[in-house]
Chain A
Amino acid sequence: MVEWIPLLPALAAALTAVLFVLRRDNGRLAAMPVIVATGASLALSVAAFQSVARFGAQIGQIEWLRIGDFSASVGFLLDGLSALMLLVVASVALLVQVFSVGYMEGDDGFARFFAYLGLFASAMLGLVLADNLLMVYICWELVGICSYLLIGFWYRNRAPANAAKKAFIVTRFGDLGLLLGIILLWSSAHTFEIAALEKLVQTDNLKPVLLSAGAFFTVVPLLVFLGAVGKSAQFPLHVWLPDAMEGPTPVSALIHAATMVAAGVFLVARLFFLFHASPTALQTVAWIGGFTAFLAATIALVQVDIKKVLAYSTISQLGYMMLGLALGGIAVGMFHLSTHAFFKALLFLAAGSVIHACHHEQCLLRMGGLHRRMPLTSWTTLAGALALAGVFPFAGFWSKDEILASALRSPALFALALAVAGMTAFYMTRLWFLAFAGEPRSEHASHARESSAWMGVPLVLLALAALAGGAINLPGSSSLTALLEPDRQAHGFAWPVAVGGLAVALAGIAVGVRLYGRDPARDAVTRLPKGLYRFLSNKWYIDDFYERGVARAAVAWGAMVAWFDRNVVDNLVNLAAWICALVGRALGSFTNGQPQFYAAVLALMAVIAAALVGLAATGALGGILP
């Protein structure tokens, strides 16, 4: 049954392609195959979750390819981690698909959109279930291409097309690391299977190739982490995610907030046994995560595009998850991943609802006054914002608290994480006030109306999850910890950290309310010192470094090699031809036009050649030949 979880959406996508895309039928019915299939996948995921809870982990596989001692299989590894992730992915996917029926209505690519969504759901569920690294890599690439297709969905404009390409190429740099890591593991263990690798590592039976054991167990997790850095948009490969906001907003919610970008975090959790063995690797993950969280949060402070704020927030929260994973373990990271998936999907969908109502206006400065016009969207956004800010009793409070508590081990990282929490609370307050409070600041905003039920119902359901999602791992019960790390002691509740974290969040909100509560029309962050403001709104100049530096250098390099090819390599050959021509002219006297003479010369030459070769072969010319 488990194998149908990823297969159903793929079949539905194929069906959609044949029945609707080919026939250019963009009616609402085109959404149904994928929605029904994802619904069925969700039901199966629930069954799978219960089965894991009752019977423990399960594995199934069939051989795919065997050459000599190389063998690759397709299979699933259903354990607590994958069962949890299945539930997150399938449920968010379903809600986003339902939302999209309303959001994408009337688009001339409606059917195509749903075919892509089905394909993505399939690849993502496959990635979650994969029992071996080759299949992980395969699905990893497939979700990447779905992301490419969906970012560039509105291909007629240049910006989405550029963003799609940028996303695919930047993440592929990370993928190279993952690929190398997988190959190093295979070369050492001669297996791709995650469970087998885990056993080998834990029993200390993995004999590294090429590197010493110490270096191997540092390099391999770091290579795998490089893949995660690309996919989960961590510094320095985070630049693609904000651009990816060019895609339709439901895509941003599903792929670029809740699921695919979290795949990097999931991967680290999946292969945590590798990271566990290397303090260096864990330190790197923690610092990259912590720094990314900080970097992205500072940039989010000054963004004026509602989706860009959320995009940087996502990067920041993914960094948080990495930090939590590295310092607190699988359950800590995965807890935040799960709660974040719901409230960030909620925030994006709500933003989508706003954008839809405002006729594709995304600039916060031209919104305002939407609270009265779109009460449902406004209230649900508030729920998502409070969850993201980490306010009691919303889901984010519980999962963030665990990360903060585990960050206590490193004072510097703890300070960083606390600062991020404060900034997060502030920029979400700013976002809410700019969008919903005050008076409309544009024509579109003043005509906005609440969205249809297709969009409303998913918002309400996600808002409920944002409110109560913390229940899956409340302190004391710690059901998630028990599921993911059965060997670990249930943790207590660190009161000082919780109170401190909450205080910082409330302080951030208070500053936001103070600055924006009275007059949201004036964007208070512009009053920051000029240099700082410019630095932040230029995203720390990292994008400029890539575009002006790396990309241009690459193009220049290509042009140089092409010049070399045209003018040097090719001319060397022409030189040889020219020499031949010269010799030919010298011998031109032979061209007397008598065929018999030509034939005789030809025959003579052939004889001489054969004789030379014969002599060479027998060694008579041994001294002459090299």
Chain B
Amino acid sequence: MVEQSTGFGVLSLLVFLPLLGAALVLLTPREAAGLHRVLALATTVATFLVSLWVFAGFQGATYHFQMVEFVPWFPQAGIHYRLGVDGISIWLILLTTLLTALSAWFSVYVRERTKAYMAFLLLLETAMLGVFVSLDMILFYTFFEASLIPMYFLIAIWGGERRAYASLKFFLFTFAGSIFMLIGMVALAKLHEQATGVWSFSLMDIQSEVANGRLWAGALQTQAVVFWAFAVAFLVKCPAFPLHTWLPDAHTEAPTAGSIILAGVLLKMGTYGFLRFCLPLFPDVVANQVPILCALAVIGILYGAAVSAVQPDVKRLVAYSSVAHMGFVLLGIFSLTPTGMVGGAYQQLNHGISTGALFLLIGLIYERRHTRLFADYGGLKARMPLFAALFLIIMLSSVGLPGTNGFVGEFLSLMGAFEASFARRFGLHPAYAVFAAAGVILAAVYLLWMFQKMFYGPITSEENRRLKDLKPWEVALVMVFVVFVFWGGLVPSTFTKPMEASLHAARMMALNPVGQRPDWRNLELEIDPKGNLVRVEPRTREALATPPNYGEVVVPAEKHYPLAKPSAETAKEQPRA
């Protein structure tokens, strides 16, 4: 089968536009700080607009990759330039472009070495977007590692006092983790060669061979080893206990924009990796690993909360709260129920919004007071009522208060965990879910404590008495987040609908036996609104390559694809009518 090159398309534009911007920044004179800022902001805003264009052409009804680009690269090794989006990546792309644009906007506060700073920020955006659209493993790995470099420099040059330690630790941890992933990728490509005779690093090729059962050919041990090779890389990135210790240091020492992007996007690479690799490619072993991963998730929730509660430094507190929040993401995803997976994937976005906004707000006060210690704050509400009000809204979103986005994600994740554990699926015990639910209370404890320490009580220090409230542009910046907090909390279906089909496919890939697995390469298969796999009119890859309007997926009733008789296990999986 020889694939035709589709040429470069809108996704390539999306990924490389920031790179172009970075090149332009590098061409400007070193002293032209204003120009650097304008260029960076213009580029990130343009990239955001491109991502909106991508979203406009995105179809939520199919689980297949869309706007697929394929350009031959190293045919001998099966490495090609291959991009695409699906329901799992589309929101992460928008989150990335949005957060980067807002970070660039905030970065007017950066005064030193603006040229390098803006260039690194833009490079980072290219790398992050590349991770979310790559469909070739080597390409994915390249972008995955490439994201480390600009982030390393952002922390090491513009960071806080312990920046050297923090940046190196960040680099070594994540780099060490991804070495395992690279090995896993080579193994997968080699297995593909064994199964078909040709090497391929294409995710679609490999998944297709996994779906028809030829790639693993029943090799359970190897499958488990390769699964964990990937899982370790993603667990470091998430981060999950006990591989999380790089995070508090990196978050705390990073400059504000770095913290926003680190928490908002970089952590999501871990959970995205689970959804993109670990669920679809290891169908025979995933279920066995669920108790371990869910246990790590629950430990993270409780552990992160306990450690948060005693931090004297506001940034460290928020950093540890990320460990707890990402625990909910992991728990939801690995409940392997439709509700929980949507909840987990949605919680990714919510965490990006709420924790990103918290770091932004902390950045705004840091620029005024140059301290992160609670001991230096207190009573700020009297001086900065607007700042306090915005902080309160974001803090409540992080607590998971109903009406805000945080509630929906946490609640759905928990529902998934309860559903799976009540049915004793995958060896999950209800205690997992109960402990996770207890984490919901703990979040209130440490976050309300944080708010009280900063904003309530009398003003004790002279510097705080002279504080000025937010400027209009700062308010506007935070308001973007606030809009998403309420939008996501009141009308969550805007965000959950487009991701459902792809998440459902990932779930079926992970759980169903051969013959009932969705296939990324087989365009005849679709998932109907009831969550069943059906055969539809075949569409060509070209149809998926053109962004807009290839129509709703129409499933003629008589074309329902009679699949193999469901086994007892999968019959239980079917949602009740």
How far is the CB of B80 from the nearest CB of chain A, in Å? 19
Contact B418 A614 (CB under 8 A): no
B241, B401, B455, B531: the one within 8 Å of A155 (CB): B455
Q: How many A-B residue pairs have CB under 8 A?
A: 158
Binds B, one of A94-102, A136-144, A277-285, A469-477: A136-144
Contact B440 A210 (CB under 8 A): no
Binds A, one of B88-96, B153-161, B217-225: B217-225
Contacts of B504 in A (CB 8 A): 68
B222, B401, B441: the one within 8 Å of A619 (CB): B222
Measured between alpha carbons, how far is A169 from B309 in the docked complex, in Å?
13
Given A558-B307, A613-B190, are A145 and B401 also a contact pair (CB < 8 Å)? yes
Contact A183 B183 (CB under 8 A): no
Contact B496 A65 (CB under 8 A): yes
Chain A at the B interface: mostly helix, strand, loop or mixed?
A: helix
Given A70-B415, A155-B455, A168-B444, are A625 and B186 also a contact pair (CB < 8 Å)? no
Contacts of A68 in B (CB 8 A): 337-339, 504, 531, 575
Contacts of B513 in A (CB 8 A): none
Q: Mark B493-519, 1 if CB is under 8 A from A, else 0.
A: 100100010001000000000000000
Binds A, one of B127-135, B256-264, B365-373, B445-453: B445-453
Q: Is A545 an interface residue (CB 8 A)?
A: no
Measured between alpha carbons, how far is A187 from B173 in the docked complex, in Å?
40
Given A141-B402, A617-B191, are A169 and B531 also a contact pair (CB < 8 Å)? no
Measured between alpha carbons, how far is A555 from B221 in the docked complex, in Å?
44
Contact B306 A561 (CB under 8 A): yes
**Size class of A's contact patch?**
35 or more
How far is the CB of B197 from the nearest CB of chain A, in Å? 14
Contact B242 A176 (CB under 8 A): no
Contacts of A152 in B (CB 8 A): 456
Contact B401 A625 (CB under 8 A): no
Q: Is A457 an interface residue (CB 8 A)?
A: no
Q: Mark B517-555, 1 if CB is under 8 A from A, else 0.
A: 000000000000001000000000000000000000000
Measured between alpha carbons, how far is A391 from B448 in the docked complex, in Å?
44
Given A68-B338, A572-B242, are A179 and B440 also a contact pair (CB < 8 Å)? yes
Of residues 485 through 499 on chain B, the ones whose CB sits less than 8 Å from some CB of chain A are: 492-493, 496
Of residues 596 through 614 on chain A, the ones whose CB sits less than 8 Å from some CB of chain B are: 609-610, 613-614
Given A141-B401, A616-B222, are A156 and B422 also a contact pair (CB < 8 Å)? no
A161, A180, A609: the one within 8 Å of B434 (CB): A180
Q: Is B24 an interface residue (CB 8 A)?
A: no
Contact B245 A186 (CB under 8 A): no
A70, A175, A569: the one within 8 Å of B245 (CB): A569
Given A176-B438, A565-B245, A619-B222, are A186 and B415 also a contact pair (CB < 8 Å)? yes
Contact B496 A176 (CB under 8 A): no
Q: Mark B214-236, 1 if CB is under 8 A from A, else 0.
A: 00000101100110000000000
Task: Name the residue of chain A whose CB is nearest to the CB of B457.
Answer: A158
Q: Is B87 an interface residue (CB 8 A)?
A: no
Task: Name the residue of chain A whose CB is nearest to the CB of B453.
Answer: A161
Q: Mark B160-193, 1 if CB is under 8 A from A, else 0.
A: 0000000000001100000000010011001100
Contact B186 A559 (CB under 8 A): no
Contact A158 B186 (CB under 8 A): no
Q: Is B458 an interface residue (CB 8 A)?
A: yes
How far is the CB of B520 from the nearest CB of chain A, in Å? 21
Contacts of B402 in A (CB 8 A): 137-139, 141-142
Measured between alpha carbons, how far is A74 from B449 in the docked complex, in Å?
32
Q: Mark A545-585, 1 if CB is under 8 A from B, else 0.
A: 00000000011011101100100011011000100000000
A65, A173, A175: the one within 8 Å of B408 (CB): A65
Contact B306 A609 (CB under 8 A): no
Contacts of B225 in A (CB 8 A): 616, 625-626
Contacts of B242 in A (CB 8 A): 569, 572
Contacts of A577 in B (CB 8 A): 172
Q: Is A199 an interface residue (CB 8 A)?
A: no
B307, B337, B430: the one within 8 Å of A562 (CB): B307
Task: Name the residue of chain B whose CB is nearest to the CB of A173.
Answer: B441
Contacts of A569 in B (CB 8 A): 241-242, 245
Q: Is A489 an interface residue (CB 8 A)?
A: no
Q: Is A66 an interface residue (CB 8 A)?
A: yes
Measured between alpha carbons, how far is A570 from B244 in the docked complex, in Å?
9
Contact B310 A559 (CB under 8 A): yes
Task: Provide 19 A-B residue pairs closer than 8 Å at the C-beta atoms, listed in order of the A residue.
Answer: A22-B386, A64-B493, A68-B575, A141-B401, A142-B401, A152-B456, A157-B458, A161-B452, A169-B444, A172-B440, A176-B441, A183-B414, A183-B437, A209-B423, A558-B309, A569-B245, A573-B173, A616-B222, A617-B226
Known A617-B190, A625-B222; further 11 A-B contacts with Cβ < 8 A = A65-B492, A138-B402, A141-B401, A172-B440, A176-B440, A179-B437, A179-B440, A557-B306, A573-B245, A609-B186, A619-B219
What 10 A-B pairs come out closest when comparing CB atoms?
A68-B338, A161-B456, A138-B402, A69-B575, A558-B310, A558-B309, A617-B187, A561-B306, A155-B456, A570-B245
